[in-house]
Structure 1
Amino acid sequence: MLRHVDPRTPSVAPRTAERVGAVLRRAIEDGLLDGGLPVAGFVDVEGVRRSVGELHAAFDGVPDVLHTFAAKASSLVPVLRLLAGLGMGCEVASPGELRLAREAGFAPGRIVLDSPAKTWDEIAEALDLGIALNADNLAELDRIDALRPEGCASVVGLRVNPQVGGGAIGAMSTATPTSKFGVALRDPGSRERVVEAFVRRPWLTRLHAHVGSQGCPLELIAEGIAETYRLAEEINAAAGRQQVTSLDIGGGLPVNFSDDETRPTFRDYTAALRAAAPGLFDGRYGLVTEFGRSILAKNGFIAARVEYAKEAGGRRIAVTHAGAQTATRTVLMPGSWPLRVGAFDAAGRPKDGPQVAQDVAGPCCFAGDVVAEDRELPLLDEGDHVVLYDTGAYYFSTPWAYNSLPRVGVHGFAVGADGGVRLTVVRDAQTLDEIAAESGARHRDGLAGLA
């Protein structure tokens, strides 16, 4: 279970603040955070390696497992390339994500296509390339019937909704009674239709389920996977053979945003699965996982300059360049996605001094663009920097184009044993020319020409 910690009193270990400060100082020295570049994202390469290693270790001894990374959690080709080199596969949910996975070098057999709205063309492409895909519904199976060529190499599965309930964040819960995902198993007649669909299609060999992510306790996730395991056993009994040979158990391990500790761990996850479905790891079924946030969240941060510091209604407000455009979930759902905030001076050194309650606001032109409200921090002044911790997944990799603010530059870093910092470009900051082009500048006279 996730432990609730008051977001007003987040915990950042001094060694973490100093390590982040070293990266920040190097970025400032290199001109990656200056007048024209007031905000950037950073990826901890060694941290990513460590997290992937912990995932593999948690499944050690399982004879057949493919760990895929959910591309939506960090749709950045260099990040995906790093993960491919660490033995990961890739889970994609759109033509764009599939293109990024292929650019990153993932072999087709290590890519899984999930989406509740695949077009005929998307299905045909996946089948032609030999990419695995999970049908979201029975009607999609009919499309695959029509498109699947003889000798197709794609592993084909069906996503089911075990309907075990939701967690604390409804938008992150995908196994509720009315979830848009998968075939609802507890609806009248659905389970029987699923079994019959498998028996009629010998090439349909995988079951897929995903209960949810942030806000979902391990017990709920494990129960949804256990229900899917029981369904596989039922299908195989009905078919008179082991037709279901693999289970895609999704991802969704929650992340602790309250302090530096990784909680729950991947080993906590596998322990919960063993308790709920002891036969899951006995080797009869290959396993596929689709983790995203839990691999990258704690391995990245956002740094932004404080442009102004002012008072309003007796409250201190630090206006920064990191707001809803890059911390969208936190701004729109602060109770569900609170972030730890670090205070650093203009040179990138951690600030100390008395804690002062203050707001940390972003640059977007709406009143709710506040990343942290009434947060106790060392006093922030113009020219200082704030750091948003635990933002390695989703935040800077999938920005919101509100106010036509540019996508932030992203950099990877490694810190040597001597404390030296090495940086590399992951994504260039978006230019104003690129914003204009993306906004249709080439067609500027198009509408006027219709008058």
Structure 2
Amino acid sequence: MTQTISFTGARPAPKFAPVVRRAVADGLLGETQPVVGFIDTEGVRGSVEALREAFAGAPQVLHTFAAKACSLVPVLRLLASYGMGCEVASPGELRLAMDAGFAPSMIVLDSPAKTREEIRLALALGIAVNADSLDELRRIDALRWSTSPSVLGLRVNPQLGAGAIGAMSTATATSKFGVPLRDPGARAAVVRAFAERPWLTRLHAHVGSQGCPLELLAAGVAETYRLAEEINARVGERRITSLDIGGGLPVNFADDEVRPTHGDYVTALRSAVPGLFDGRYALVTEFGRSLLAKNGFIGALVEYTKDAGGRRIALTHAGAQTATRTVLMPGSWPLRVGAFGPDGLPKGGPTLVQDVAGPCCFAGDVVAHGQELPELREGDFVVLYDTGAYYFSAPWAYNSLPRPAVYGFRTTDGGDGDDGCDGDDGVRFAPVRDAQTLESIAAENGLVHADALVGLGGVNSASSRGTGSSALV
């Protein structure tokens, strides 16, 4: 199943227009940096505050940010400064979370394929761990020690079915995540697992994300709550003390409105699980996309335009290497596009149905199909809205295209301060990630081992290189 949103005929408002203009004027976006990401730091703060306000009725709640949604260290550190925790799902994400300054007690480790070394490290640091299976629990049995302060939990799959996007639905009958509660004998096995392990005190479930309606998300939490009540009753004590209800709030990509809100989600939770907020269970959330998506955008230079089959095509530097999901699943991950002139100001005038394509060498590298926009020309800019989550930190190295620079911005009253940011006209920038260099691309593609295979083949490595040079000026 796919979720299809059409933007034909819809003209998105020039959101972030002052930021685009300032970025072009300052040279952050242009000929030398033809594709750049931008993050609205005040917008992120507002999203975090809205999340906290929505859950204000919960006596104990830890809000963690799903690092996969934007794993850039400055972004993670910003969220840590706002009091957020961090949910990680790999050794790399754990390293980034630690570098960003999250206290171990504020980190939750989720993953369906944790190694013994990952578990050992988490236990040594005091990081919370959600086991993904009964087999993983048995592995933890052999690795844990009584001095570890880690909170340990078990992820279950309520098997409620899929939302509109199958790939984003994690509570299907055959999902790879969690213990499937409706499989024969599985629920009883989960109850036994808690009864046999006094150190197992958390229950975790995550139904899905984009494309999942609030009712489905709330139903997953309700099933988890009922299971916790059943386990505590069967054990005869309050064994489960906290519930990790995951994240997954979908994002509206059709316009600028934030919907559904975290408040809408809490309303659905109160209806489905009336006892969730009474304080008997501490809560953990793992939101990602809903906190960042609308607080970021991608700006890209229009390098060329052409007409083909009666359709105008604008060729830009924003394609599948950064908007991978949109390109490969356009019906499920559509993006709104804004048109800006060479001066960085929003374009006006008559509209034209156009495709906005990227630089990758395959025909499907199109980020927007048939959108009505003011006519794009060489030297103009396009803006891809709602790309603050996943689009910056989940790049695809197709064609060895470099990862773009990312900047944070804040709108102010103008002027320069002493916070390391530059800008005027009410917009201030700070670097988040430098653009990837060609040297870095060569290094990560094995440059240091350039002669290794030639040596295995018995060929003289010096003569095999010929007269070519790797130097690029």
- TM-score when scaled to structure 1? 0.97
Distance in 1, matches of 2:370 and 2:350, equals: 15
Paired with 1:10 and 1:294, the residues of 2 have a C-alpha distance of: 23
Residue 305 of structure 1 is matched in structure 2 by: 301
Name the amino acid aligned to 2:304.
Y
1:383 aligns with: 379
Out of 248, 254, 257, the position equivalent to 1:258 is 254
Residue in structure 1 matched with residue 430 of structure 2 by the alignment: 424
Residue 116 of structure 1 deviates from its aligned partner by 0.1
Task: Report the 3-state secondary structure (helix = DSSP H, G, I; strand = E; otherwise coil) of the residue aligned with 2:436.
Answer: coil
- Which residue does the alignment assign to 2:462? none
Structure 2 match to 1:441: 447
Measure the CA separation in 1 of the matches of 2:234 and 2:126. 28
User: Shift of residue 244 of structure 1?
Assistant: 0.3
Corresponding position of 2:177: 181
Letter in 1 for 2:287: F
What's the offset of the Cα at 1:151?
A: 2.1
* Kept in 2: contact 1:301–1:390 (CA 8 A): yes
User: What whole-Å deviation, never above 9, does each CA across 1:365-396 have from its counterpart, x for those lacking one?
Assistant: 00000011111100000000000000000012
**For 2:316, which of 312, 320, 342 is the aligned residue?**
320
Q: Per-residue displacement from partner, 1:311-335 (whole Å, max 9, x unpaired)?
A: 1111100000000000000000000
- Assess if the C-alpha contact under 8 Å between 1:342 and 1:386 holds in 2: yes
User: How far apart, CA to CA, are the structure 2 residues paired with 1:341 and 1:91?
Assistant: 31
* Separation in 1, partners of 2:125, 2:290: 29
Could you tell me which amino acid in structure 2 is paired with residue 132 of structure 1?
A: A
8 A Cα contact 2:126 2:149, kept in partner: yes
CA offsets 1:258-302 (integer angstroms, 9 cap, x no match): 000000000000000010010111000000000000000000000
The 5 A counterparts of 1:121-140 are: 121-140=117-136
> Residue 156 in 1 paired to residue 152 in 2?
yes
Partner SS for 2:367: strand
Residue type of the partner of 1:93? A
1:410 partnered with 2:406: yes
Asked if residue 13 in structure 1 is aligned to residue 13 in structure 2, the reply is yes
Shift of 1:4: 6.8
Number of the residue aligned with 1:367: 363
1:72 pairs with 2:78:
no
3-state DSSP of counterpart to 1:27: helix
Q: Do 1:298 and 1:392's aligned partners in 2 also have CA atoms closer than 8 Å?
A: yes
The answer (yes or no) to whether the contact 1:10–1:258 under 8 Å persists in 2 is: no
Kept after mapping to 1: 8 A contact 2:3/2:331: no
Is the 2:5–2:332 contact (alpha carbons within 8 Å) kept by the matching residues of 1? no
Q: Percent identity?
A: 72
* 1:140-177 deviation per Cα after TM superposition (whole angstroms, max 9, x unaligned): 00111101012210000000000011100000000000
Alpha-carbon distance in structure 2 between the residues aligned to 1:84 and 1:412? 16
1:28-427 maps to which residues of 2 (within 5 A)?
A: 28-417=24-413, 419-427=425-433
Cα distance in structure 2, aligned partners of 1:154 and 1:9: 53
Which residue identity is paired with 1:69? F
Distance 1:161 1:51 in 2: 28
> In 2, are the aligned partners of 1:11 and 1:259 still within 8 Å (CA)?
no
Q: SS at the partner of 2:315?
A: strand
For residues 211-236 of structure 1, give each alpha carbon's deviation from its aligned partner in whole angstroms, at most 9, with x where no partner exists.
Answer: 00000000000001100000000000
Aligned Cα root-mean-square deviation (Å): 1.2
Per-residue displacement from partner, 1:66-88 (whole Å, max 9, x unpaired)? 00000000010000000001010
Q: 2: CA distance between counterparts of 1:148 and 1:335? A: 45
CA distance in 2, matches of 1:149, 1:272: 39
| Contact in 2 for aligned 1:44/1:413 (Cα 8 Å) | yes
Cα separation, partners in 2 of 1:4 and 1:58, compared to 1, 3 Å: farther
- TM-score between the two structures when normalised by the length of structure 2: 0.93
AA of the residue aligned to 2:447: A
Segments of structure 2 that go 5 or more residues without pairing to the other structure are 415-424, 458-473
Residue aligned with 1:146, SS: helix
Amino acid at match of 1:349: L
Contact residue 11 and residue 260 of structure 1 kept, 8 A: no
SS at match of 1:42: strand
| CA–CA separation in structure 2 for the residues paired with 1:10 and 1:135 | 45
Cα-to-partner distance string for 1:236-263 (whole Å, 9 max, x where unaligned): 0011000000000000000000000000
Runs of at least 4 residues off by over 3 Å: 2-5
Name the SS for the 2:227 alignment partner.
Answer: helix
Q: Paired residues, what number?
A: 446
CA distance in structure 2 between the aligned counterparts of 1:202 and 1:11, rounded to whole angstroms: 57
Tell me the distance in 2 between the aligned counterparts of 1:292 and 1:163: 22
How far off its partner does 1:8 sit?
Answer: 1.5
For residue 26 of structure 1, report the CA deviation from its aligned partner.
1.7
Alpha-carbon contact 2:134-2:179 (below 8 Å) kept? yes
Q: Distance in 2 between matches of 1:24 and 1:186?
A: 51
Per-residue CA shift, 1:389-440, capped at 9, x if unaligned? 0000001222111000000000000011465110000000000000001100
Asked whether the equivalents of residues 172 and 213 of structure 1 are also in contact (C-alpha less than 8 Å), the reply is: yes
Structure 1: which amino acid aligns with 2:362? F
Q: Secondary structure at the match of 1:387?
A: strand
Q: Check conservation: 1:309, 1:317, Cα contact below 8 A.
A: yes
SS at match of 2:452: coil
Q: Quote the offset at 1:3 in angstroms.
A: 9.9
2:3·2:211 contact (CA, 8 Å) conserved in 1? no
Larger radius of gyration: 2
Structure 1, unpaired ranges of 5+? none
* Residues 188, 39 of structure 1: alpha-carbon distance in 2 compared, 3 angstrom cutoff: same
**Residues of 2 paired with 1:366 and 1:141: CA distance?**
44
